């Protein structure tokens, strides 16, 4: 991996390079995505079946479109029993973590006859997109469905592209059933997003779409935002390790590679105050590359978006981590909890040398659907709050309104909204000429 001295110039260059990975820079695909969405909106199921044949090589009909109970039962017969038990243990952790996020409606009443509050209501329906093809991620199935179930969503619809044989990965099907999905349809890509957003003969429109996907899926989600809500426009995966001279270079190298293997645009960055650690990590990375199966992807990922940055001080290293706002941030320093208090921007923070990032991907419980491309400065991980909506509650007695009605009228008239003012005034016009 390249080793660079950290200064204002190198940090700016790094941030500029990272931003190029954002889906917002892939406008060349937008026209094709919009054409797919328009056809799905116009032709419904017919368009879905045609695109599934074109892109996935699978012949799907209305009779085979929806995953049946018998297909799910067959998946349970085929799934690795040990994997099933791991899925269930992971599911328990994920559910337990998200149940702690639940919020209740609240009300605040005062003796003067006012009642204010907030009503929490789960979304009625949610669409979960799950990638297929070469990538099969049952962990992502759990992470997207469980918080929706905990929130109380009534109807959870999952879409995922089938293989050329018209079948879905057994691991995906089992994970979805274990998590509590209600319906599963064999469709992927931008066309699946269109179906969830607009509705077709087979798939009723949902209120929100969540889940990762390729650039076509990301741009389709961006395009339908407003017809439905979405979780985020996710970019390629990324990890930043913040380390000092106490870190184990072999552990650090392994963790950097754990994200670099996702795809050629994944980012892996070490920010350290130790030049010795920087050199040792670089050597460990080279050694691991000779043994890992996704060597070609790893090499291209590191060549494009892999850096080791050497900072003069820990404060400078922390500032750089906050500027990058990485999806995953590992802190491997002498006092990682103290450093953690100074981190403002990160999707998920892993503290200490045994909190390896894949622990969060699969098992610990916090959600692994995280903000990318610097959006951790203003976005949060997927959670229960993403599957609820809030309504404000207002009640005033006549006596309470009478106390303030002239203030409201004055405010409305100051804005030139006489009908607003009149709406209050008519309630107290008795006895007035």
Residues noted as catalytic: 327-328
Secondary structure (3-state) at 34: helix
The rounded radius of gyration (Å) of the Cα atoms in the chain is 26
In angstroms, the CA 369 to CA 103 distance is 20
Q: What is the DSSP letter of 391?
A: E
Secondary structure (3-state) at 313: coil
> Do 235 and 20 form a contact (C-beta atoms < 8 A)?
no
Q: Please provide the DSSP assignment of 131-177 as one string.
A: --TT---HHHHHHHHHHHHHHT-SEEEEEE---TTS---HHHHHHHH
Q: How many residues does the chain have?
A: 433
> Do 40 and 250 form a contact (C-beta atoms < 8 A)?
no
Backbone angles phi, psi at 344, to 5 degrees: -100, -30
Q: Please provide the DSSP assignment of 65-104 as one string.
A: SBPPHHHHHHHHHHS-HHHHHHHHHHHHHHHHHHHTT---
Q: What is the DSSP letter of 228?
A: B
**Which burial class, exposed, middle or buried, applies to 84 when counting CB atoms under 10 A from its CB (0-12, 13-18, 19+)?**
middle
């Amino acid at each position: 991996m390249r080793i660079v001295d950290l200064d204002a110039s190198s940090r700016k260059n790094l941030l500029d390079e990272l931003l190029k990975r954002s889906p917002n820079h892939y406008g060349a695909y937008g026209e094709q995505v919009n054409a797919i969405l328009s056809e799905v909106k116009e032709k419904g199921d017919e368009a879905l079946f045609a695109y599934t044949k074109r892109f996935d090589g699978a012949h799907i009909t209305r009779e085979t479109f929806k995953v049946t109970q018998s297909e799910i039962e067959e998946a349970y017969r085929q799934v690795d029993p040990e994997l099933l038990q791991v899925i269930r243990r992971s599911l328990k952790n994920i559910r337990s973590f998200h149940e702690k996020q639940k919020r209740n409606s609240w009300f605040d009443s005062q003796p003067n006859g006012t009642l204010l509050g907030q009503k929490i209501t789960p979304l009625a329906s949610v669409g979960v997109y799950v990638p297929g093809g070469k990538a099969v991620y049952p962990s992502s199935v759990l992470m997207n469905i469980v918080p929706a179930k905990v929130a109380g969503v009534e109807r959870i619809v999952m879409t995922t592209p089938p293989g050329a044989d018209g079948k879905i990965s057994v691991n995906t099907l089992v994970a979805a059933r274990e998590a509590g999905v209600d319906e599963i349809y064999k469709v992927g890509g931008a066309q699946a997003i269109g179906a969830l957003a607009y509705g077709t003969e087979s798939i009723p429109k949902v209120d929100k779409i969540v889940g990762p996907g390729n650039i076509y899926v990301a741009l389709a989600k961006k395009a339908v935002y407003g017809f439905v809500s979405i979780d985020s426009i996710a970019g390629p995966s990324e990890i930043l390790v913040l380390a000092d001279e106490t870190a184990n270079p072999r552990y650090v190298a392994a963790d950097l590679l754990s994200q670099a293997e996702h795809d050629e645009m994944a980012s892996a960055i070490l920010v350290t105050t130790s030049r010795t650690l920087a050199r040792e990590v670089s050597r460990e990375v080279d050694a691991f590359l000779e043994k890992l199966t996704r060597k070609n992807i790893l090499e291209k990922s590191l060549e494009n978006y892999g850096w080791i940055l050497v900072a003069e001080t820990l404060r400078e290293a922390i500032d750089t981590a906050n500027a990058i706002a990485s999806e995953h941030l590992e802190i491997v320093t002498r006092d990682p909890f103290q450093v953690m208090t100074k981190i403002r921007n990160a999707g998920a923070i892993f503290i200490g040398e045994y909190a390896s990032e894949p622990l969060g991907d699969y098992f610990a419980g916090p959600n692994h659907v995280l903000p990318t491309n610097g959006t951790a400065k203003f976005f949060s991980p997927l959670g229960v709050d993403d599957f609820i909506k809030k309504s404000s509650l207002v009640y005033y007695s006549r006596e309470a309104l009478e106390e303030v009605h002239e203030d409201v009228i004055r405010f409305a008239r100051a804005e030139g909204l006489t009908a607003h003012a009149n709406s209050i005034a008519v309630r107290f016009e008795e006895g007035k000429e």
